[in-house]
Amino acid sequence: MKLIKAVVRPEKANEVLSALCDAGYISATRYSILGRGKQRGLKVSNISYDELPKEMIMMVVPDEAEEEIKKIIIQTARTSKNGMFGDGKIFIMPVQKSVTISSGLEE
């Protein structure tokens, strides 16, 4: 299993979740976060914004679904054909096991 964490622009989060759902990947956790990437925030005139609003989408998926999910997120979260600074980042980590709280079953 893999844990996929995708940091995306807030205006793209619903679109990404819909595309994942349409592809059969329904289970996800979403929450609002603040952060910055290589662009070091945003500067408008004399005002600097160090922390920009983003959305984190988190999901645990079978190993074989990793590439398809990564492709869906990239295609859906990009703001232009080739993407732009601030479009986000995807982090992929191995998951050793998961336990369903209601049943106590391990996967």
Q: Which two tokens stand for residue 25?
A: 């990947």
- Above 80 in pLDDT, residue 15? yes
3-state SS class at 79: coil
Question: In the predicted model, what is the mean pLDDT of the chain?
Answer: 92
Q: Which fold has domain 2-41+48-94?
A: Alpha-Beta Plaits (3.30.70)
Which secondary-structure segment (H or E) carries 83?
none
Rounded CA-CA distance 13/57 in Å is: 8
Q: Per-residue DSSP letters for 5-45? A: EEEE-HHHHHHHHHHHHHTT----EEEEEEE--TT-SEEET
Q: What is the 8-class DSSP label of residue 84? A: -
**What's the pTM value of the predicted model, to 2 decimals?**
0.87
Domain ranges of the chain: 2-41+48-94
**56-71 pLDDT, tens per residue?**
999 999 999 999 999 9
